[in-house]
Copies of this chain bind each other. A is one copy, B any other.
Amino acid sequence: MTAKVRIGVLGAGNMGSFHANTVAHRTPETVLAALADLSERAVRSLAERTEPERCSTDPEEVIEDPSIQAVVIATPGHTHADLIERAAKAGKHIFCEKPIALELPAIDEALAAVRDAGVKLQVGLQRRFDPGFVRAKEMVERGEVGDLYIVHSRTRDPEAPPLEYLRGCGGLFRDTSVHDLDVVRWLSGCEAVEVYATGEVLTDPRIAEVGDVDTAAIVLRMENGAIATVDNSRRSVYGYDVRAEVFGSKGSVEVVADRSTFVTHRSKAGVCHDHPYWYLDRFAVAYEAEIRAFARCVLEDTRPQVTGEDGRAARVLGIAAQRSRAERRP
CB within 8 Å of B: which residues of A?
Answer: 1-2, 21, 24-28, 48-51, 131-132, 135-136, 139, 144, 147-150, 152, 156, 194, 196, 198-203, 215-217, 219, 221, 225-227, 229, 231, 233, 235-239, 241, 247, 249-275, 328-330
Contacts and interface: CB of A to CB of B under 8 A. Distances in A.
A251 B231 contact: no
A178 B136 CA distance: 31
Contacts of A215: 149-150, 226-227
Given A48-B2, A229-B231, A272-B272, A221 B200 contact: yes
A2, A25, A50, A262: which has the most chain B beta carbons within 10 Å?
A262
Contacts of A203: 149, 249
A201 B239 CA distance: 37
A194, A202, A268, A271: which has the most chain B beta carbons within 10 Å?
A271
A272 B270 contact: yes
Contact of A238 (B131, B259, B270): B270
Given A198-B221, A227-B217, A269-B269, A247 B236 contact: yes
Contact of A252 (B25, B216, B238): B238
A266 B236 CA distance: 9
Nearest to A267: B251
Contact of A251 (B28, B136, B237): B237
A227 to B, nearest CB: 5
Nearest to A27: B25
A217 B229 contact: yes
Contacts of A27: 25
A322 to B, nearest CB: 16
A165 B127 CA distance: 41
